[in-house]
Amino acid sequence: MNENRAIKVALLGAGSVGSQVARLLLEQADEYERRVGTRLELIGISVRNPDAKRDVDLPSELFTTDPERLILSADLVIELMGGISPARELITLALESGADVVTANKALLAHHGAELFELAERVGAQLYYEAAVAGAIPIIRPLRENLGGDRVERILGIVNGTTNYILDRMHTRGDTFDESLRIATELGYAEADPTADIEGYDAQQKAAILASIAFHTKVPVEEVYREGITSVSIEEIEDAKRAGYVVKLLAICERLIGEAGEPDQVSARVYPALVPNAHPLASVHGGNNAVFVEAKAAGSLMFYGAGAGGVETASAVLGDLVAAARRHLLGGPGSGESMDANLPILPVDEIVTRYQISLEAADEAGILASIARTFADQGVSVQTLEQAAPVEETEAHSGAEPVSRATLVIGTHQATEGSLSRLVQALSASPAVHQVNGVLRVEGVNS
Ligand code: NAP
């Protein structure tokens, strides 16, 4: 029999993740006791509706609709309600009462993380959030602790399973975006309102969290450039395939070395990008997540696995709970977040990457030279050019001679976002170009 008194654990939320956390806490109580050195006692579960049907059967006497009271009786609090309010107020209450808190709430951390970390540090408590990014995959602790003595230079993350499922389906089955989204919804990969996933908001929140930890700098979510995947066409996927790429929605966090005594800058951004087939992220299929980290001394590391799912995410939550329980027994202040590097954030226009531009042009002599001049005028140099077979078209009402049009897919060398957007404007205005079909950035290539 263990001599320490039981550690009282309060759970806020019993949805997909919370119900699995409760189940495992109850089922594996003896194992946790051996592992931690004392019993973890689940003293209550706060929900909106105690009578709602749950994924698992849990003892009805644990349910309450009074989270404040529950928190004030607990040593450790697990927040799995999601959303900003009342999660923010309840975590504040828990930290102020001296309890360590475990949360999976990326939205809350992306918007109010700095305030909560400061509070935790002030009161000597600790806020754990391994499950907030990439579900079951350990990535927060590796960045905070294992790589705490290294310098992270770049993170490329597939951190949203819904969009990875959709893009993977478009790539492997040739389905359109709408068809892939419909199937993702039927299979439970996408929510009834998929906006947060397909418009990149979920990945944006995760990018803000990853960049903040990796670069020891507060990166506000509003500073993370974001594009979703709704405009990715099946033609772009096919072009990518032909050129040896796959399209992935990436969360990109980069540290750019300052020149001539200037400080380093950081960039965090989310957009669909072309990833070379040989890159490890290209083989992340279905709803899986992966985070590819490049660190100065460690080199390249990849963290891969289930980025969501109730029981999978519960694994990360319970890992944090075990760490919190051990800290509770040992005492001492929390380890806090190191956010004091305060590196400036690179303006979006100055982001440098490579691009692939698909456009339609008249299939006439001199057109290529004219397009090449437009590229040169904007300071963007062409690296590759592929031309699809020309098609003949006649305007339905004109009775004119058919015109022949060619689709060109042009890969560029590195250029800034600013020069790229000026280039696209110039191409759209050029008489040589019928229309610009789309632009995708190329990531995961060194030059
Ligand atoms: P969920 O299924 O929607 O469950 C939310 C739970 O919180 C429900 O039990 C709900 O009570 C309770 N709740 C919500 N608002 C409340 C309020 N105002 N007062 C009291 N209780 C309230 O959510 P989830 O999918 O488990 O996600 C929980 C957290 O984990 C979120 O922050 C999410 O971003 C994060 N996360 C989830 C996953 C995943 O795969 N699901 C993966 C990674 C991270 P009722 O049951 O009574 O409605």
CATH code, 230: 3.30.360.10
- What is the model's pLDDT at position 118? 95
**Domain endpoint, select from 272, 306, 340:** 306
Atom of ligand 1 lying closest to residue 106 CA: 34
Q: Are residues 225 and 157 in the same domain?
A: yes
340 in any annotated domain: no
361 in any annotated domain: yes
Q: Are residues 154 and 114 in the same domain?
A: no
Written as six digits, the tokens of 162 are 């819904």
Q: Is 86 in the pocket of ligand 1 (CB under 6 A)?
A: yes
Q: Are residues 212 and 173 in the same domain?
A: yes
Q: Are residues 298 and 317 in the same domain?
A: no
219 in any annotated domain: yes
Locate all alpha helices (DSSP H) within 146-200, ordered by sequence: 161-173, 177-186, 195-198
Of 8, 53, 106, 206, which is the active-site residue? 206
- The protein residue with its alpha carbon nearest to ligand 1, atom 38, reads 308
Q: Are residues 253 and 355 in the same domain?
A: no
Rounded to the nearest whole angstrom, what is the distance from the C-alpha of residue 16 to the centroid of ligand 1? 7
Q: Are residues 300 and 167 in the same domain?
A: yes
Q: Are residues 326 and 284 in the same domain?
A: no
Nearest to 8 by CA among 66, 72, 74, 62: 74
Q: Are residues 177 and 291 in the same domain?
A: yes
| Helices 29-36/16-27 angle, 10° precision | 70
| 431: CATH | 3.30.70.60
Rounded to the nearest whole angstrom, what is the distance from the C-alpha of residue 83 to the centroid of ligand 1? 8
179's CB contacts (< 8 A; 6+ apart) are none
264 in any annotated domain: yes
- What is the model's pLDDT at position 447? 45
Q: Is 180 in the pocket of ligand 1 (CB under 6 A)?
A: no
Host H or E run for residue 202: helix 201-215
Q: Are residues 198 and 58 in the same domain?
A: no
pLDDT tens digits, the chain, 447 residues: what are they? Answer: 456 799 999 999 999 999 999 999 999 999 999 999 999 999 999 999 999 999 899 999 999 999 999 999 999 999 999 999 999 999 999 999 999 999 999 999 999 999 999 999 999 999 999 999 999 999 999 999 999 999 999 999 999 999 999 999 999 999 999 999 999 999 999 999 999 999 999 999 999 999 999 999 999 999 999 999 999 999 999 999 999 999 999 999 999 999 888 999 999 999 999 999 999 999 999 999 999 999 999 999 999 999 999 999 999 999 999 999 999 999 887 888 888 899 999 999 999 999 999 999 988 888 999 999 999 999 999 999 998 766 666 555 556 666 788 899 999 999 999 999 999 999 999 999 999 999 999 999 974
| 122: CATH | 3.40.50.720
- Supply the range of the domain harboring residue 393: 348-442
Q: Are residues 158 and 302 in the same domain?
A: yes
377 in any annotated domain: yes
Active site residue 248: no
196 in any annotated domain: yes
Q: Is 157 in the pocket of ligand 1 (CB under 6 A)?
A: no
- The protein residue with its alpha carbon nearest to ligand 1, atom 35, reads 104
342 in any annotated domain: no
| Total number of domains constituting the chain | 3
Q: Are residues 393 and 361 in the same domain?
A: yes
Neighbours of 278 (CB within 10 A): 11
335 in any annotated domain: no
Q: Are residues 113 and 47 in the same domain?
A: yes
**Domain endpoint, select from 296, 330, 364:** 330
Rounded to the nearest whole angstrom, what is the distance from the C-alpha of residue 42 to the centroid of ligand 1? 18
